[in-house]
Amino acid sequence: MATELKNLSSYDSTKIANGKGRRIGIVYAEWNEEITYALRDGAVNTLVENGVDEQDIHLASVPGSFELIFGASQMVKSGKYDAVIAIGCVIRGDTPHFDYICEGVTAGLSKLNVEYDTPVIFGLITTNNLLQAQERSGGRLGNKGDECAVTALQMIAQFK
């Protein structure tokens, strides 16, 4: 479903699995920090609102979105987390760099989901401009971080 048709922060809390006792890793990119920090904070707040103790949420930053693959990999391999959320933001520019980063991160995070038993939640937003990123990080379309947190809790409940 296109984001334009659904607010990323809208969810029915009665249908979300309680996160009490769950440990969540969040790896987030420093690049485009105005966006990624808002996404990170949205994820943390939603996890806490749904029962996850703040002490059970581990945050790790990486320089850019491409490094999310390594950061998420290290979290998954540690065996400490019930789910890992990878948060980043890539905004299209004038060169094909956007395509390489988006494809690489997608492939890398997808591989982790296939190879390990810990769900890795895809929180990379890929937009054409800064306004679209702002709209998806707490603006008029909600916060993708909220959606990632809900997804993590649902995946844990379904498969762990």
Sequential DSSP letters for the chain: --GGGS-TT---GGGSPP-TT--EEEEEESTTHHHHHHHHHHHHHHHHHTT--GGGEEEEEESSGGGHHHHHHHHHHHT--SEEEEEEEEE--SSTHHHHHHHHHHHHHHHHHHHSSS-EEEEEEEESSHHHHHHTEEETTEEHHHHHHHHHHHHHHHH-
57-62/24-29 β-pairing: parallel
Cα four-point dihedral sign 42, 83, 4, 12: negative
* Domain contains 144: yes
* Domain contains 16: no
**For residue 22, what pLDDT is reported?**
97
Q: Which domain holds residue 73?
A: 21-159
Distance CA(149)–CA(155), nearest Å, equals 10
Distance CA(1)–CA(83), nearest Å, equals 24
Residues of the chain with pLDDT under 50: 1
Token reading at 158: 């379904």
Q: Catalytic residue, from 97, 111, 140, 160: name it.
A: 97
**For residue 4, what pLDDT is reported?**
64
Q: Which residues pair with 124 in a beta bridge?
A: 88
For 120-132, what is each residue's pLDDT tens digit?
999 999 999 999 9
**For residue 3, what pLDDT is reported?**
57
- Number of folded domains that form the chain: 1
Concerning whether 97 is annotated as a catalytic residue, the answer is yes
**For residue 43, what pLDDT is reported?**
97
* Domain contains 120: yes
Q: What is the pTM of this model?
A: 0.93
* Domain contains 33: yes
**For residue 96, what pLDDT is reported?**
87
**For residue 140, what pLDDT is reported?**
92
Residue 113: give its domain's CATH number: 3.40.50.960
* Domain contains 15: no
* Domain contains 12: no
Distance CA(41)–CA(137), nearest Å, equals 10
**For residue 1, what pLDDT is reported?**
43
* Domain contains 7: no
